[in-house]
């Protein structure tokens, strides 16, 4: 018998074909729980709390927290650039790492790493960096170091996904941070994905690491601001656009 989690994932993937609402579906459980609690507090404050200074303080705090939560779970539409040789940012945030490393997870060779730090004020919905097929996934139940620390890439809770497209492979890690304690990812091996499509999110502050071949021309540098589904992280050489990098 299929689990409730399975049907929930199917529902989200079907609904994503239609115009997305203001709040991401990946955060419905948390958002509406917090919204309900805030509404209850406001009603109680209006009906029962005295003096007025306490009443208005509770109302202001509740509205501020609801506003922060609404801002966090927002899911704006994005316009993805066209180009099969492009690698697009999977996350909103700030580039904090660009370096060469050796990867034993998916590439088994030296690769380029670009890391994006997502603050609690950024959009936290993640999008596919290329069009292709999911070849590899692995969930790591790890620690919760601050997402901007280098050790977070190896030791924090994370979901690792490897994609293969027309031009080669791309791997990314959804990494939970000190505040973020839940990674949402609907991808599984064999899935076909399109560049710029939503696939999940990381809740409450986090980081996404992206890895691609050294032949890719990196288009960002440390300090750059990225938008998921829009910012170009890298570009495969056009002379190799019909090759597969294995």
Q: 24, 46, 72: which is the final residue of a domain?
A: 72
Q: 72, 101, 122: which is the final residue of a domain?
A: 72
The reply to whether 124 and 155 lie within a common domain is yes
Q: Catalytic pick from 53, 153, 206, 239?
A: 206
The reply to whether 101 and 198 lie within a common domain is yes
Residue 15: the pLDDT is 45
- Write the pLDDT tens digit of every residue in 114-162: 999 998 889 999 999 999 999 999 999 877 777 667 777 777 889 999 9
Alpha-carbon gap, residue 201 to 6, rounded angstroms: 17
The reply to whether 48 and 159 lie within a common domain is no
* Res 245 pLDDT > 90: no
> Which domain covers residue 15, as residue numbers?
4-72
Assigned domain for 216 exists: yes
**Quick check: is 57 catalytic?**
no
Alpha-carbon gap, residue 42 to 174, rounded angstroms: 36
Number of domains in the chain: 2
The reply to whether 137 and 23 lie within a common domain is no
The mean pLDDT value of the chain amounts to: 87
**Residues in contact with 208: Cβ distance below 8 Å, sequence separation at least 6, in sequence order:** 90, 91, 93, 115, 116, 118, 126, 172, 173, 174, 175, 202
The pTM for the full model equals 0.82
Assigned domain for 246 exists: no
């Amino acid at each position: 018998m299929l689990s409730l989690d399975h049907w929930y994932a199917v529902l989200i993937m079907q609904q994503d074909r239609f115009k997305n609402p203001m709040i991401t579906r990946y955060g419905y459980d948390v958002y509406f729980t917090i919204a309900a609690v805030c509404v209850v507090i406001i009603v109680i404050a209006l009906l029962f709390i005295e003096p007025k200074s306490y009443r208005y303080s509770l109302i202001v705090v509740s509205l501020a927290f609801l506003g922060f939560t609404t801002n966090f779970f927002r899911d704006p539409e994005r316009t993805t650039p066209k180009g099969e040789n492009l690698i697009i940012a999977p996350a909103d945030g700030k580039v904090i790492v660009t370096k060469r490393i050796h990867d034993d997870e998916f590439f088994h060779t030296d690769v380029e790493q670009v890391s994006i730090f997502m603050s609690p004020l950024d959009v936290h919905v993640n999008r596919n960096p290329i069009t292709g097929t999911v070849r590899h996934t692995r969930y790591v139940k790890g620690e919760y170091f601050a997402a901007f620390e280098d050790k977070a890439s190896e030791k924090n809770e994370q979901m690792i996904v490897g994609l293969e497209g027309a031009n080669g492979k791309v791997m990314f890690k959804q990494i939970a941070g000190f505040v973020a304690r839940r990674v949402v990812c609907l991808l599984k091996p064999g899935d076909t994905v399109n560049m710029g499509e939503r696939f999940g999110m990381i809740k409450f502050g986090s980081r996404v690491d992206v890895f691609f071949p050294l032949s890719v021309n990196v288009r960002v540098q440390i300090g750059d601001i990225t938008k998921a589904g829009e910012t170009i992280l890298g570009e495969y050489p056009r002379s190799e656009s019909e090759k597969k990098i294995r």
